[in-house]
Structure 1
Amino acid sequence: GSPRWQARQLSARQRWEIEQKLPANLPDAQLIDSIQLRDLLEALHQWSQAKLPAAERVPLSDAVEEHIISRLLHSQTMLKIENAWGLPLFALLKASYAPQGLEERVFTSVEDTANYFRLMKEWANRSPHTMRIIEELDVPLERLEEAMNELDILVRSWANRYHQAGSKAMTIQMAFGEK
């Protein structure tokens, strides 16, 4: 595969020092610097704005850009790595965004619950290509974080194996917690 990041201007020792700051089990994504991150946010913003009528489109402001970066860092979706030899670097920690604020989490829960009930209704009606998944187990408290991380990796790996852009859009929705 391709390298995690392009650092031609850094020595092997400098690259090693930065790589030591990276956690294990990162999603398959490259590290990017702050300029690349802002370019990516701008491109995503333009893409999302293209779906709106021209009269409703707004430019991406610096304040909104900073807010997005702050939310991604706060939610631990992304990690900022200070780089003594150049611009700060950013690493993707999760393949999806999970909001931290109570209001955002409640709103997400309502959307997820509605989608879950729709899927369960389809399953109850024996609609093709739907299935119900439930598993109950006892997990030692000292292995709980390990189990959750492994489950996240397994589901992400499974999704990556079967995902093909432009194919039938599917969703898998799970919640994990105490019985």
Structure 2
Amino acid sequence: MKYLVIDEDGPIRLRTAPRWDVARRDVGPEGWDRVSLPNAAAVYGPEHVTVAGYVNDCSALPGSRYARNLVGSCVLASLGAHARPYMGPVLLVGWDPDPHSADVEIRSLTDEQIAAIRQIHDDVRLVLRLTPGVPSRNATPAWREAMRAVAEIVRTGPAPQMTVLTDDDAMAHLFRGARR
């Protein structure tokens, strides 16, 4: 399967792996979390296949070794993810959202998806002045302004919060909802 990885310092790499469990190792050994990309289906994916993003699920914890991924966060936001700091490597794969499919939902990226994501990546780097040059025609003025705003959120915004519940806390929360 073909997939893309955006490293913390901004470069994008095309990778291949024989299986999804091998590919997801690129986000780190701690674990992974899927990032919802609602714009990907309409803009970049062929019919019934979209793009999914994955990040390390422990990357925002205090003491994590992962840094904020400025370019990866902007690419994810461009595909519809929530604008927030994503830490560590960003993994992009093909995704089949069909609930009736008998196959695994993760798919290889198509050449068209790879080209589109690379263009977004390149435009993000150009708009943020991380590389010299002129962005593509796809980088409209509104999109450029949005990417600058996302970049500011990534640079200065708080890391996502995580609440750890004890078993008793979780049970109390569940039963409180059942009493209503």
Q: TM-score of the superposition, structure 2-length normalised?
A: 0.25
Higher strand share: 2
Higher helix share: 1
Structure possessing the higher radius of gyration over alpha carbons: 1
